[in-house]
Amino acid sequence: MHFGSGVPTVGVDALSADDFLLDVREEDEWAAGHAEGALHIPMSDFVARFGTLTEQAPEGGRINVICRAGGRSAQVTAYLVQQGLDAVNVDGGMQVWEAAGRPVVDGNGAPGTVI
C-alpha cells in the first residue's frame, strides 16, 4: 500500500447510524469495544481481505474508516481513495467516538470500551 497526504476526513458528529463504517483496528481492540454494525477488517489483513470490503460496502456509497485515534485509518483511507473509492477518515477515531457518547459494544454485544 502507498499512502499519501491530504486524506479526506469526517467528524464523528457528522456520522449517522446508517453510515457505513470500516474498523481497521486489530482483533483485541475490536473485541474490547467497537461501533455496532461496523465492518471489521484489521489493517494487518487489509490487502488480503480487500474483496470483503468491496462486497459489503454500499455501491457508490462512502466508506468511513476508523481506528483508535486516526493514524491507521488515515493510511487505509488514502489507499482506498487511490483505488477510486469514496472514503474518508473518521477524525480522532474510536477515542472520539466513545468520548462523544456514541455506543460501543464488545465482541458479545455487551457494553464495551476502547483500548
Torsions phi, psi for 106 (to 5 deg): -90, -175
Helix, strand and coil content of the chain, in percent to the nearest 5, comes to 35, 15, 50
- Among residues 112, 54, 43, which one has the least CA distance to residue 83? 54
111 contact partners, CB below 8 Å, separation of at least 6: 104, 105
- d(C-alpha 105, C-alpha 30), whole Å: 9
Residues with a known catalytic role: 67
Strands 87-90 and 21-23: unpaired
